[in-house]
Every structure is written in C-alpha cells, then in structure tokens.
Amino acid sequence: MEVSKHVDVLIVGAGISGVDAACRLKQRCPRKSFAIVEARARIGGTWDLFRYPGVRSDSDMYTLSFPFRPWSRDQAIVGGEQIRRYVEDTARDIGIMDQIRFNTRVTAASWSSNDARWSVETSDGLYTCRFLYLASGYYDYAAGYRPEWPGEADFKGQTVHPQFWPEDLDFAGKNVAVIGSGATAVTLVPSMAETAAKVTMVQRSPSYIVAAPARDSMAKWLPASLVRWKHILLTIFLYARARSRPDRVARFIKDKAREALPEGYPVERDFSPSYAPWDQRLCLIPDGDLFAAMSSGKVGIATGEIERFVPEGLLLQGGETIPADVIVTATGLNMRLLGGIELVVDDEPVRAPERVIYKGMMLSGVPNLFVAFGYANASWTLRSDLTARAACRLINRMERLGARSATPIVPDGIGRKPVLGLTSGYVSRAAAILPSQGDRDPWHVPQNYLRDLAAMTFARIDEGLKLG
C-alpha cells in the first residue's frame, strides 16, 4: 500500500514509541491521517539494532508492553528479539503496518507558520504534515561510545563493540574480556560464559547490580492489567525508598550480592559504587544469572583502570594482566537528541539546549512538535504512552477549537535544571545537547508515573500553550 506523503501526523521511528503513537492515533483520532517513516528495514527500533548475545530489556515486560495490549505471560524478562516480535505483532494486530515506510531516513524538518505545516526532508523525498512526532529515542544508532586506549594495535585478538556485533564472531572456548559495568556488560557476561572458556568483566568502578525474578508466577492467574499495576507501583515504591534512604538501600543491595556469591567474596571491592542508588540506573540481572556464573568459576570481575592493551589482553594500572582472545568494549552509548534531525522554525534553527521541555513531550517555541521520551527510573513505555495519549488529547482539542498550531511558551522567570537527573556517563557526555526542564508545572518532568498520569489525563491539555 502506498503511503501518502502528506498526512496530519508524521511519526519518525517504528520502535516502541512510534508504534505506540500510531496505535493511539488510530484509536483516539480516527479522522486524522498518519504515517511512520523508519530508517531501518524492520520494525523494532532499539530491539532491531542490538544483536549481541543475551540482549534483553532491564525493564519487566508488564510495564514495557503497551497498556492496550498487555503482556500476559509469566516470563517477566525477555530477550530483544522477543520484544521486537511483540512490537511487530502489535502493529499488525492493530492494523498500522501499511502506514510504515521502511528504509526512509529523516534528515531535516522545517516549520512554516504561514502554512501551519512541517516540511520533512527524507531519503524518500519530501513529506509534509501538520504535526511532527519524533519517536526515534535519544541514542545514536550510528555510533556507540568508544574510548581509545594505548596499545590497541598490539592486541592479537579481536575487539568488538556490542552495538555492531559481528554475526560470525566465534568465542567458544576462548577467553573474553568485557570492558564495562553497565546494563550491556552485565547482560553480555553471563550469556557469553555459556560457551566461552572464561569471561572477565573489567570495570573502572562498580555499579549497583540487583537480582530479580525472571518470571512472575502471579501472571498465571492474575489479570494482566493488575500484574502491570503491581509492577508499576512496586517500581515507584522502590525508587522512592532508594532516594529517601540511600544508605540503607545500598547496604541491602550489597548484602544480597554477598548472599549470592561464594563466601568471603570481596563485595566492597567489586559491588560497592561511590554514588547513591539511582544516581545512575540500577543493573538488573534475571534470576541472579551473573552471580551464578561467577559462583561457577566461569566469570570473574577485575576492578581498576585499564593501563593499555597488550598482545595477550589488557594490562590494568594495578599491574594485573587480563588474558583475552576477544575484547568487548561495552563502554556505553552516545545520546543523539531528536534523531539527529535538523529542525528549523520559520527559518530559525532550533537549538535544543536553548529550549525547555513542556510536559515532557514538546519543546518551547516549537509548534506542533511531539517528542517521545521515556523514564530514567522506570520502563520507557510508561512515559512514551502517556505522551501518545496526551498528543491525541491536544490534537482533538485543537480540532474542536479550530486551531492550526500549538506552541509552548516559557513563562518569565522560570528556573531551569537538567532534564535527566542521572550522573551516568551517557547523560554527562550529552549535557551540552539536551534541553532543560523547568522548576514548575507543566515544565517540570517529575519522573513519577502516577503524577504524570494524573497531569496528562486530567489537567488542561493546552495549559501554557499558544494556540493559533
């Protein structure tokens, strides 16, 4: 089916956020036309990009799934391909597959106030729309974060980055060193240990690592919507407890690691971060698989700065050599706001750091633009679905009023602060490209689903907007 190049709403990205937005538009704005443009050849976004061993979500599927198609199985943590298939099945079941144009990359978009229209430049030519909905996430798909170390050319083995995993990489029976201690590293290590001779996780400093059940037995008999709410409320409670009593929560996390590891293991050395819980995201390991792999002797952790690569592996500053045939640089991601698209409003370039986030879904001074953001402390879908529902509310409100444009206008004297309250490396590196949030509603992003749900559902949807 041919997709029209002029639509009411053009969605950029066919991952979780884009599919969610399209489904909500079909449900709640049935008279509005829409299309999705996706740079990749398949649906799924992040879950189509990452192909490394063991790739999975660190959020449970009950909150990662769409509320209009809730996850009903007892498997709470699933692999990346299973997530991708779920997103694709949802798009097919709801009937939006024909609205997706694959292999279509957006490069720029310009807004004309005279025409009340976006002109969107793509690899498939020019599209036009009344509303532009950016659902492309905030990671750079083209390049991961990759520091350089002295001596890399001396290493006799193979070096890979998880974002660009070679399909033919054979690590069976080999020594593997995984550089990093974040979500990707703790996912890769136990998975690779199944066939590798030995896997060593080389970390500059520890992260908080929390074991969680891979299955929820309550899902076998409790309605899916109630299982979802159970996980939502549990996440909110645990986050609040971590922020209000960080020392107690830190001790609890380390005590649980101590219980799962062999007696006498130096937990303070390898599992005691210098920051408080949720200053950075916690790393979830299903059924404690990392701890089990360590207890089996197939996985080890080396904590310390890397001095250099050497022919036989890695040399740490403390003098320890980590033997490796394969080195995986699980060193993180780069943020890329707005999908790398150059935005222009009435011939003026839009510079994101100069803007303030409105209701977590629009940018100050930019008309008819929606941006899907996820939570930093909970499942991505919880927040992106609220954005999709609120966007539909606003579109319907504008139709009733006969308005052609909606522009967030920052009030005088508003205070500004970082939009993401994390100290993670990828957030710190992106500080110069991120918009800010305000110190009051509707410019404040509370990182709390219940507060957002109430505000996005019951508060005035056009508060703080200039309608034209």
Per-residue 3-state assignment (H helix, E strand, C coil) for the chain: CCCCCEEEEEEECCCHHHHHHHHHHHHHCCCCCEEEECCCCCCCCHHHHCCCCCCECCCCHHHHCCCCCCCCCCECCCEHHHHHHHHHHHHHHHCCHHHEECCCCEEEEEEECCCCEEEEEECCEEEEEEEEEECCCCECCCCCCCCCCCCHHHCCCEEECHHHCCCCCCCCCCEEEEECCCHHHHHHHHHHCCCCCEEEEEECCCCCEEEECCECHHHHCCCHHHHHHHHHHHHHHHHHHHHHCHHHHHHHHHHHHHHHCCCCCCHHHHCCCCCCECCECCEEEECCHHHHHHHCCCEEEEECCEEEEECCEEEECCCCEEECCEEEECCCCCECHHHHCEEEECCEECCHHHCEEECCCEECCCCCEEECCCCCCCCHHHHHHHHHHHHHHHHHHHHHHCCCCEEECCCCCCCEEECCCCCCHHHHHCCCCCCEEECCCCCCCCCCHHHHHHHHHHCCCCCCEEEC
pLDDT of 464 > 60? The answer is yes
Q: Which of 274, 260, 266 is nearest to 208 (CA)?
A: 274
8 Å CB contact between 45 and 71: no
Average pLDDT, integer, range 10-32: 97
76 and 223 part of one domain: no
Lowest mean pLDDT: which of 300-304, 340-344, 386-390?
Answer: 340-344
Work out the percent of the chain whose per-residue pLDDT is above 90.
78
pLDDT value of residue 3: 63
184 and 296 part of one domain: yes
Lowest mean pLDDT: which of 82-86, 122-126, 295-299, 338-342?
Answer: 338-342
d(CA 55, CA 378): 18
423 and 286 part of one domain: no
pLDDT value of residue 93: 96
Distance from the Cα of residue 16 to its chain's centroid: 10
Lowest mean pLDDT: which of 121-125, 303-307, 312-316, 443-447?
Answer: 443-447
d(CA 97, CA 371): 21
121 and 209 part of one domain: no
Q: Is residue 48 part of a domain?
A: yes
Establish how many alpha carbons lie within 13 A of residue 292's alpha carbon, considering only the half-sphere containing its beta carbon.
12
Distance from the Cα of residue 440 to its chain's centroid: 25
186 and 94 part of one domain: no
pLDDT value of residue 140: 72
Lowest mean pLDDT: which of 43-57, 242-256, 416-430?
Answer: 416-430
Q: Is residue 127 part of a domain?
A: yes
pTM (two decimals): 0.94
16 and 76 part of one domain: yes
d(CA 296, CA 454): 48
Number of domains in the chain: 2
Q: For position 265, which CATH number holds?
A: 3.50.50.60
Q: Is residue 147 part of a domain?
A: no
pLDDT digits (tens, 9 = 90+) for 153-204: 999 999 999 988 998 999 999 999 999 998 999 999 999 999 999 999 999 9
Lowest mean pLDDT: which of 79-88, 281-290, 346-355, 424-433?
Answer: 424-433
Lowest mean pLDDT: which of 66-80, 134-148, 331-345, 414-428?
Answer: 414-428
Confidence of residue 423 (pLDDT cuts 50, 70, 90): low
d(CA 136, CA 371): 9
Domain that holds residue 38: 6-142+334-467
Q: Could you check whether the bond before residue 442 is cis, i.e. omega within 30 degrees of 0?
A: yes
Average pLDDT, integer, range 134-147: 79
325 and 350 part of one domain: no
Amino acid (1-letter code) at residue 456? M
186 and 321 part of one domain: yes
Average pLDDT, integer, range 359-387: 92
Which position has the higher pLDDT, 432 or 309? 309
Work out the percent of the chain whose per-residue pLDDT is above 70.
96
Which position has the higher pLDDT, 101 or 139? 101
Q: Is residue 31 part of a domain?
A: yes
Which position has the higher pLDDT, 375 or 462? 462
Domain end (from 271, 301, 329):
329
pLDDT value of residue 82: 96
Domain end (from 307, 329, 351):
329
Q: Is residue 1 part of a domain?
A: no
186 and 66 part of one domain: no
d(CA 203, CA 164): 21
Lowest mean pLDDT: which of 93-97, 137-141, 164-168?
Answer: 137-141
122 and 187 part of one domain: no
On average, the pLDDT of the chain sits at 92
Confidence of residue 71 (pLDDT cuts 50, 70, 90): very high
